[in-house]
Chains A and B, each alone.
Chain A
């Protein structure tokens, strides 16, 4: 093609084809970002390693069906029934009686020091109370700082004890044990279910990686000096932003698929709701995080600052979104902050869809909030983007 032909092209495109030019420039930017990402081994490794590592670390904990958890027994009565109950507990293989103690202080100390995870207390007059039909309490204290370990043992407790005792007792036809199992989850009263972990991980991993990817994108161009060239060419802030975000939407999507896939296949997390809805809203969440990271990038003076901003955003996301602590249990001010974080909404979405089979109708408010947060971040980014070197 000769130069004259090129010039003719330019003239022919001119102003009427502006809109077409918009997509062309976005495309140019995307291709460039893709190539750079492909060449950047560290980033590339991060895309795969972060989700896989996190999942394996957490997954290990999830996957370990707790066995032989050290348990102390506070035996206030030495009766046949008490012995049967203890034997039934031990037979479950969840509990392993390492200590038999005789006073409450020792019992508490053991739990506090972490020497045992559980304490079973059989109160004085237990057998007699059962025979009288008084429904006495069998006290099980659990160190719930490790909710995963404690949770599954406790959830199995009642059923196991009932079946184990069924043939042992004259009250075998009762629908429930003739005594009450009173569980005290100590230190972490709201032990979260293991099923919450995988959906929660999808959200936190995506938040972390997406933020970091785009948070560095503009500052990197400035620090490498390529921004000067970029700004001297006819490209608008929106085009730069879309070009820098879209490739990572695909990256985020792959990450999400990886995590959810492993969660469902390896750890048996259910996926009750629509996969399409999950994919669509995950994409929205991914884009929102990318937009926020990109916004940091337009505000920060250098890569270090951009990184610090991302961490400052990531920490409250972990703490106040309901990932770490149940959202409803947080103080109101913390809940307000939480509502401003994409992760909060996404946790509701992903838990809702996977664990409860929620529909878009159930999740419309969280979806709208996510969309609003994304648009807000994008607007800030486009207005903050410096078009000159001033």
Chain B
């Protein structure tokens, strides 16, 4: 343990300059990240932005083309075996055995991690997951929500120090999603570090820290408040009549970077406050429409980041 003692005990993931290409196309570019122990770190980004690829590099499933770093103090390139013992990885696609029952899957995982009494551990986990009565059901026959719970159970079975959850709530109903996040917070409260990728904004807001990744580039990271503050986005929330006409009228005008409907209101944002104000000045006088200066939402920030990154990287 001497050579591999973490340089900083409070850092769970510490990587620098990760890059990965597939067939000449770079899908992760010069990625660096630091995740503190005991935090829930959200990995946000559109599909194909390199979230899965990054997570796979972290747990040794893919070898980075360049860059290095440590995971739980172990070198990612050299100590993949040691990392695997301490990390629970929940894959994006359900990858437990569909033709094994809930109990059999959990016992299999428990045995692989060398848990002493695999049967008892699996039984305990079934109880904790609320899967009683379904333990003999084949995993392939479970509904999406139950599959996801089972997968979470399987990757926490060995009491890992770090959880890597790749879009764990995709295609799961809101109630199950909420339960899932409560569970993740409970785990983090016990000292687990959780890296979770998602593209749900409400989930991003439940993370201690987030990183936004697009086209393999980390565009911004920090707490939700920091990310919003960093965005330098000016946002107005517009309520009233004929918002559709207004939205059409605003799009593409100078200073308007984004117009997005939110329920009965419209979010109008721009990076250049003076240009934005100049453009909307005549419109603010219109009857029946109420303009209110507001904080941009996380979603505004992300949508703006995504639009901008599209210009930069495509």
| A36, B97: Cβ atoms closer than 8 Å | yes
Quick one: which of B85, B95, B108, B154 contacts A32, CB cutoff 8 A?
Answer: B108
B77-95 residues at the A interface, CB under 8 angstroms: 80-81, 84-85, 87, 89, 91, 93-95
Given contacts A226-B97, A228-B91, A231-B61, contact A389 B114 (CB under 8 A): no
Interface size of A by CB at 8 A reads: 37
Interface size of B by CB at 8 A reads: 40
Kindly state whether residue B117 has any CB partner on chain A within 8 Å: yes
Bound: A245/B59 CA distance, A: 27
Given contacts A234-B81, A234-B85, A388-B60, contact A6 B121 (CB under 8 A): yes
| B104, A232: Cβ atoms closer than 8 Å | no
- Return the CB mask of A182-197 against B: 1 if under 8 Å, else 0: 0000000000000000
| CB nearest to B111 among chain A residues | A28
| A9, B116: Cβ atoms closer than 8 Å | yes
| B59, A232: Cβ atoms closer than 8 Å | yes
Kindly state whether residue A233 has any CB partner on chain B within 8 Å: yes
CB proximity of A201 to chain B, nearest CB, Å: 32
Given contacts A3-B159, A32-B104, A232-B61, contact A225 B111 (CB under 8 A): no
Given contacts A6-B159, A32-B100, A228-B61, contact A233 B95 (CB under 8 A): no
List residues of chain B with CB within 8 A of the CB of A25. Answer: 111-112, 114
Kindly state whether residue B218 has any CB partner on chain A within 8 Å: no
List residues of chain A with CB within 8 A of the CB of B97. Answer: 32, 36, 226
| A24, B56: Cβ atoms closer than 8 Å | no
Bound: A207/B94 CA distance, A: 34
Given contacts A10-B114, A13-B114, A25-B112, contact A229 B100 (CB under 8 A): no
A190-220 residues at the B interface, CB under 8 angstroms: none
Q: Which residue, A35, A232, A235, has most C-beta atoms of chain B within 10 A?
A: A232
Kindly state whether residue A27 has any CB partner on chain B within 8 Å: yes
Bound: A227/B107 CA distance, A: 17
List residues of chain B with CB within 8 A of the CB of A1. Answer: 117, 120-121, 124
Kindly state whether residue B225 has any CB partner on chain A within 8 Å: no
Bound: A232/B115 CA distance, A: 16
Bound: A31/B101 CA distance, A: 13
A10-46 residues at the B interface, CB under 8 angstroms: 10, 13, 17, 20-21, 24-25, 27-29, 31-32, 35-36, 39-40
Kindly state whether residue B99 has any CB partner on chain A within 8 Å: yes
Bound: A281/B59 CA distance, A: 42
Kindly state whether residue A167 has any CB partner on chain B within 8 Å: no
| B63, A390: Cβ atoms closer than 8 Å | yes
Kindly state whether residue B49 has any CB partner on chain A within 8 Å: no
Quick one: which of B63, B85, B154 contacts A388, CB cutoff 8 A?
Answer: B63
| B84, A225: Cβ atoms closer than 8 Å | no
CB proximity of A10 to chain B, nearest CB, Å: 6
Bound: A232/B113 CA distance, A: 11
Kindly state whether residue A224 has any CB partner on chain B within 8 Å: yes
List residues of chain B with CB within 8 A of the CB of A32. Answer: 97, 100, 104, 108
List residues of chain A with CB within 8 A of the CB of B247. Answer: none
Quick one: which of A13, A21, A35, A228 contacts B95, CB cutoff 8 A?
Answer: A228
CB proximity of A167 to chain B, nearest CB, Å: 72
Given contacts A1-B120, A6-B121, A7-B159, contact A24 B100 (CB under 8 A): no
Bound: A233/B96 CA distance, A: 12
| CB nearest to B60 among chain A residues | A388
List residues of chain B with CB within 8 A of the CB of A39. Answer: 99
List residues of chain B with CB within 8 A of the CB of A21. Answer: 114
List residues of chain B with CB within 8 A of the CB of A235. Answer: 112
| A233, B109: Cβ atoms closer than 8 Å | yes
Chain A contact residues: helix, strand, loop or mixed: helix
| B91, A388: Cβ atoms closer than 8 Å | no
Kindly state whether residue B239 has any CB partner on chain A within 8 Å: no
Quick one: which of A17, A234, A389 contacts B113, CB cutoff 8 A?
Answer: A234
CB proximity of A159 to chain B, nearest CB, Å: 60
Bound: A234/B110 CA distance, A: 11
List residues of chain A with CB within 8 A of the CB of B190. Answer: 3
| CB nearest to B57 among chain A residues | A388
| A232, B87: Cβ atoms closer than 8 Å | yes
Kindly state whether residue B278 has any CB partner on chain A within 8 Å: no
Kindly state whether residue B232 has any CB partner on chain A within 8 Å: no
List residues of chain A with CB within 8 A of the CB of B159. Answer: 3, 6-7, 10
| B93, A225: Cβ atoms closer than 8 Å | yes
Quick one: which of B104, B109, B116, B120 contacts A35, CB cutoff 8 A?
Answer: B104
| B99, A389: Cβ atoms closer than 8 Å | no
| CB nearest to B108 among chain A residues | A32
List residues of chain A with CB within 8 A of the CB of B60. Answer: 232, 388
| A9, B115: Cβ atoms closer than 8 Å | yes
Quick one: which of A28, A224, A390 contacts B62, CB cutoff 8 A?
Answer: A390
Given contacts A229-B95, A232-B61, contact A36 B100 (CB under 8 A): yes
Bound: A235/B81 CA distance, A: 8
CB proximity of A25 to chain B, nearest CB, Å: 5
| CB nearest to B98 among chain A residues | A224
| A225, B124: Cβ atoms closer than 8 Å | no
Quick one: which of B56, B98, B112, B124 contacts A28, CB cutoff 8 A?
Answer: B112
CB proximity of A306 to chain B, nearest CB, Å: 19
New contact pairs (20) apart from A31-B108, A225-B91, A232-B61, CB-CB < 8 Å: A1-B117, A10-B115, A10-B158, A20-B114, A25-B114, A32-B97, A35-B104, A36-B100, A227-B95, A228-B91, A229-B89, A229-B91, A232-B84, A234-B81, A235-B112, A388-B62, A388-B63, A389-B61, A389-B62, A390-B62
Q: List 21 A-B contacts (CB under 8 A).
A: A1-B120, A1-B121, A6-B115, A6-B121, A9-B115, A17-B114, A25-B111, A28-B112, A32-B104, A35-B104, A36-B97, A224-B98, A228-B91, A228-B93, A228-B95, A229-B89, A231-B61, A232-B60, A232-B89, A233-B109, A388-B61
Which 5 pairs across A and B sit closest by C-beta, in order of nearness?
A28-B111, A229-B95, A232-B89, A21-B114, A234-B84
Binding site for A on B (CB under 8 A): 56, 59-63, 80-81, 84-85, 87, 89, 91, 93-100, 104, 107-109, 111-118, 120-121, 124, 154, 158-159, 190
